[in-house]
Amino acid sequence: MAQYLTGLDGVFLALADPTRRAVIHRLGHGPASVGDLAREATMTLPSFMKHVRTLESNGLIRTVKCGRVRTCELDRERLAVVEDWLAEQRRLWEERTDRLDQFVTNSTERNTT
């Protein structure tokens, strides 16, 4: 449980940056080299590499070096952890809303009979 929470901390933190979210978005179209991604981010390679390392260390992307080119690709399972967490919260609110609806319906029926 502690490990799961720590994982979520890192994933949310990694997503709290527009450059890193833009990388996730770009990699949704398919793998890309670090060089191409850095150019699209209009950022120097060393600055951009910090973002790549944050994304990689939190499991949101995988990188593979082939010769001089490092290629990045998404790890969708990691984003699914965030989706699962959000879905769980939504389930709770919706259950509560259903209960409130039921309560209002029952109260209205009692008052009209």
Instruction: Pick the closer one to its own copies by CB: 103 or 106.
Output: 103
Q: Which is nearer to its own copies, 77 or 109 (CB)?
A: 77
Identity of residue 92: L
Record the tokens describing residue 5, joined without a space: 């929470």
42: burial class by Cβ within 10 Å (0-12, 13-18, 19+)?
Answer: exposed
CB of 27 to its own copies, least distance (A): 9
Q: How far is the CB of 45 from its own copies (least distance, A)?
A: 23
Beta-bridged to residue 33, according to DSSP, are 71
How is residue 16 annotated by DSSP?
Answer: S
Give the interface with its own copies as residue ranges (CB under 8 A): 5, 8-10, 12-13, 15-18, 21, 24-25, 28-30, 74, 76, 79, 82-83, 85-86, 88-90, 92-93, 96
Q: Where are the alpha helices (DSSP H) in 1-113?
A: 2-15, 18-27, 34-40, 45-57, 76-112
- CB nearer to its own copies: give 50 or 90: 90
- Nearest distance in Å: CB 28, its own copies: 3
